Chains A and B, each alone.
Chain A
Amino acid sequence: MERLSTVLDAKGVDYRQLNDMVRACLAQGERHIVLRHVRGQRYLGAGLTAGDLLLEVEGVPGEDLAFCMGGPTIIVHGHGQNAIANTMDSGTVAVHGMGGDALAYGMRGGRLFIRDSVGYRVGIHMKEYRELKPGVVVGGTAGDFLGEYMAGGTMVILNRYNEQESVCGQADKTLATGIHAGEIYIFNYDVPGFLPGIGARLLPPDKADTERVRSLVEEYCHYFGFDPTPLLTREMVKIIPAGSRPFHKFYCSAYPVHAGLS
């Protein structure tokens, strides 16, 4: 028998209470929860671990949506704010709209799909571990400091409207600064040479890359009802670490020695 979904009206409800309501529904075995009239309530989905939970958010959720979440799927019918998927471990977040700043901070696994553009500082410290490999697809463009200190996972800037400026930031050496693992793909944009920061380098993608990006983009398109084919036929570039030790030569050990003229 098909389960009916539970609808909670979030209008005027404090975020703590709303999160408690969600947890209470979960405890009662509900696995499809719809939140109506969400107006900036924070921490929705934070720390939730039910892999079979589908949480639908109607309205605009507050910051730290899916903070440290492990498993559920969250679909936002509206725009998102800052810090979505902060330290997320697994699960999926799909936002039918735009995303704010500092998304996917320290995200270690799962998927984050933003239909349109996102703000600054997206994907900082994204990392991976064994089977946990985070994937982020941004439909539009991203701001500065994309993928700073990135340590794993895959980020795709789809540039659906084929913008020709500020697709992945515009300030000097702010793109993927300090990246030491992971990869970023930018569609249909000639990334200016001054953008990549220390430790980042630009390369054309190879076949395996293309396949990996294809599967991520198809998943993205599935959530928003787009046709992936025209999106995928466009050119893309890859940004990966120049080495796994970006600061290797930066330090030496201060032994208690007189180094003489060695």
Chain B
Amino acid sequence: MNLRPEQPGWRSLYRPAFDRSLCTGCGACARQCTFNEIRLESRQEKKIPHASGKACGACHRCEVLCPRGAICIEERPLVLRPHAVWNQAAVTRVHLQAATGAVPLTGFGAGANIPTYWDRLLFNACQVTNPAIDPQREPMETTTYLGRKPESLKEAKGLKISQLLKLNLPLVFAPMSYGSINLRLQKALAITAREKGILWYSGEGGFHEELSEYSDWAVLQVASGRFGINPAYLTKARAYQIKIGQGAKPGIGGHLPGEKVLEGISRTRMIPLGSDAISPAPQHDIYSIEDLRLLIYAVKEASGYKPVCVKIAAVHNVAAIATGIVHAGADMVYLDGYRAGTGAAPAIVRDNVGIPLELALAAVDQRLREEGIRHKASLVAGGGISNSADVMKAVALGADAVAVGTALLVSCGCHGCQRCQTGKCPWGLTTNDPVISKRLEVDWAVERLSNLVEGWRHEMKEIMGLNGIYDIGAFRGNRLLLRGVGLSSKELEILGVRHAGE
């Protein structure tokens, strides 16, 4: 590690530009910037903000909070001779690594130019012969049940059937641990999930006692580091999730650096203050489907047979893996796609590993149907879901519920500066700094999150209605509702979707 921003040549690729005619010198921008991009210079009893041009990452915090609207974030591209390979991203990465000899870490979801299939899929709509349904006038059924469905009445009355989870919408809040985000945000997620009758996932960072009243809507995680897991943890939630992989970094694990393990996090994860929280991707007690089955049933046995979900990243053999997971006894399979967000991952992994969720989801749903075990587990799909159409396309491809993560952060102010790993999130989201995290007010976040869910709910019902469908169950796995545009026949085959015009 040898980063020296003070050296000549070091410059940020963005910079706040100040409109001096509007600026009153109030200094709010300098106070808001957590990366020290802006300093104030006193001139004739007036404070004038200056950009250093060394640290701006386009978080837009100063711009949004400037009371005079005097700031505009500008791009400062590294002007290079046009080259197909040695573009800005390639050159800056090599320089950074040449300076550090380390693995560059980043946050957020993969930004590489890989096809987003959601944008190549279009919905059908009713015309003439089959009437559309107006969700403003007609009741629309969006209730979703997650979990293993019994095959017969006899089985349903049997010994130990895990309870089904009832959701008002086919939507869940993706796992984000306390540590990667702060407690205020997690609390806002929990409050909103309860209010909306959906689920929130804890991530692997344990379960803070302040959130215990929201445990009925919580899915708590069991990951390789086993943070915060004790007998009480395994009884209080609605369901449990065993994390095998993450879409943002398949094949590698979590690592919360020691400096972020502050008092609250230490207590919740049950690890000493300031110690690294390492949870590698390999769960060293799981080397086979049979081993996974052991852990699934261990969690069931200790939790009184609550539903157990297994989370995996979307990778090449995902269909076969998901099949194994269902055979191992999971009640839900959580598929995390290529574009899933993260609090910290090596950039090289985030952008180069895993496959798009759309293909993985379609392949898994298809394989589970072919094996006749689709009813044995619900599919939850997440990773790069940015609007309600994505949600409904995922449902049509076979998801029982769809997970959103990054969209929630964005609704609370995030502008995608992708520096979650620094712990300095200027919006107070992915930071546990006691001062910066106060920027996020729980009530405000709840309002924003609720609004987002409401907006999406309306749109989802609209999409159902215009397809002439009033029950989400008839939408699920109904690939005839979709048509592809500009896709190869192989892509269409995997998606199980016909081309537009067919």
* Neighbour of A255 across the interface among B7, B55, B224, CB < 8 A: B55
Write out the residue numbers on chain B whose beta carbons fall within 8 Å of the beta carbon of A259: 3, 9-10, 92, 95-96, 98-99
Closest Cβ–Cβ distance, residue B148 to chain A (whole Å): 16
Write out the residue numbers on chain B whose beta carbons fall within 8 Å of the beta carbon of A252: 1, 3, 96, 100, 102-105
Q: Does A125 contact B (CB under 8 A)?
A: yes
Q: How far is the CA of A47 from the CA of B229 in the complex (A)?
A: 11
* B278 near A49: Cβ-Cβ < 8 Å: no
**Known A152-B272, A249-B1; contact A256-B58, beta-carbon cutoff 8 A:** yes
**Known A47-B235, A256-B14; contact A124-B302, beta-carbon cutoff 8 A:** no
232-261 of chain A: CB within 8 A of chain B = 244-261
Q: Does A64 contact B (CB under 8 A)?
A: yes
Write out the residue numbers on chain B whose beta carbons fall within 8 Å of the beta carbon of A56: none
Cβ-Cβ contact count across A and B, 8 Å cutoff: 206
- Looking at the complex, which of B317-325, B373-381, B414-422 is the stretch in contact with chain A? B414-422
213-268 of chain B: CB within 8 A of chain A = 224-226, 229-232, 234-235, 255, 257-258, 266
Interface size on B, residues (CB 8 A): 71
* A257 near B10: Cβ-Cβ < 8 Å: yes
308-367 of chain B: CB within 8 A of chain A = 346-347
**Known A68-B230, A247-B255; contact A256-B297, beta-carbon cutoff 8 A:** no
* B58 near A47: Cβ-Cβ < 8 Å: no
Q: Does B4 contact A (CB under 8 A)?
A: yes
109-166 of chain A: CB within 8 A of chain B = 121, 124-125, 127-130, 132, 145, 148-149, 151-152
Q: How far is the CA of A226 from the CA of B63 in the complex (A)?
A: 73
67-81 of chain A: CB within 8 A of chain B = 67-70
- Looking at the complex, which of A29-37, A100-108, A188-196 is the stretch in contact with chain B? A100-108
Closest Cβ–Cβ distance, residue B374 to chain A (whole Å): 25
Q: How far is the CA of A68 from the CA of B230 in the complex (A)?
A: 6
Write out the residue numbers on chain B whose beta carbons fall within 8 Å of the beta carbon of A130: 272
Closest Cβ–Cβ distance, residue A14 to chain B (whole Å): 9
Q: Does B57 contact A (CB under 8 A)?
A: yes
1-54 of chain B: CB within 8 A of chain A = 1-14, 54
Q: 1/0 per residue B95-126: CB within 8 Å of A?
A: 11011101111100000000000000000000
Chain B residue at smallest Cβ distance from A124: B284
Q: Does B487 contact A (CB under 8 A)?
A: no
Write out the residue numbers on chain B whose beta carbons fall within 8 Å of the beta carbon of A258: 9-13, 78, 91-92, 95
Q: How far is the CA of A69 from the CA of B301 in the complex (A)?
A: 11
Q: Does B285 contact A (CB under 8 A)?
A: yes
* Neighbour of B284 across the interface among A129, A148, A151, CB < 8 A: A148
Q: 1/0 per residue B267-297: CB within 8 Å of A?
A: 0001110111010100011000000001101
Write out the residue numbers on chain A whose beta carbons fall within 8 Å of the beta carbon of B232: 70
* A245 near B276: Cβ-Cβ < 8 Å: yes
Write out the residue numbers on chain A whose beta carbons fall within 8 Å of the beta carbon of B422: 253, 255
Write out the residue numbers on chain A whose beta carbons fall within 8 Å of the beta carbon of B95: 258-261
Q: Does B435 contact A (CB under 8 A)?
A: no
Interface size on A, residues (CB 8 A): 60
Q: Does A43 contact B (CB under 8 A)?
A: yes
Q: Does B159 contact A (CB under 8 A)?
A: yes
Q: Does B494 contact A (CB under 8 A)?
A: no
* Neighbour of A257 across the interface among B5, B266, B275, B303, CB < 8 A: B5
Q: How far is the CA of A256 from the CA of B6 in the complex (A)?
A: 15
* Neighbour of B231 across the interface among A63, A70, A248, CB < 8 A: A70
* Neighbour of B278 across the interface among A128, A132, A178, CB < 8 A: A178
Q: Does B474 contact A (CB under 8 A)?
A: no
Q: 1/0 per residue B378-396: CB within 8 Å of A?
A: 0000000000000000000
Chain A residue at smallest Cβ distance from B35: A255
Interface centre among A43, A69, A70 (most CB of B within 10 A): A43
Q: Does A11 contact B (CB under 8 A)?
A: no
Q: Does A92 contact B (CB under 8 A)?
A: no
Q: How far is the CA of A249 from the CA of B295 in the complex (A)?
A: 33
Closest Cβ–Cβ distance, residue A245 to chain B (whole Å): 6
Q: Does A46 contact B (CB under 8 A)?
A: yes
Closest Cβ–Cβ distance, residue A202 to chain B (whole Å): 21
Q: How far is the CA of A19 from the CA of B258 in the complex (A)?
A: 39
Write out the residue numbers on chain B whose beta carbons fall within 8 Å of the beta carbon of A28: none
Question: What are the nearest 8 A-B pairs in CB distance?
Answer: A260-B9, A47-B302, A106-B226, A254-B104, A262-B7, A252-B102, A129-B270, A252-B100
Query: B-side interface residues toward A, CB under 8 Å?
Result: 1-14, 54-55, 57-58, 78, 91-93, 95-96, 98-100, 102-106, 159-160, 224-226, 229-232, 234-235, 255, 257-258, 266, 270-272, 274-276, 278, 280, 284-285, 294-295, 297-298, 301-303, 346-347, 417-419, 421-422
Contacts A47-B301, A145-B284, A262-B9 known; list 10 others, CB within 8 Å. Answer: A16-B160, A64-B295, A68-B229, A70-B230, A108-B230, A124-B284, A129-B271, A244-B258, A253-B3, A259-B10
25 contacts between A and B (CB under 8 A): A15-B301, A16-B160, A46-B298, A47-B234, A47-B301, A47-B303, A63-B294, A68-B229, A83-B294, A105-B226, A108-B226, A125-B224, A132-B270, A149-B278, A244-B258, A244-B276, A254-B105, A256-B14, A257-B55, A257-B92, A257-B96, A262-B2, A262-B3, A262-B4, A262-B6
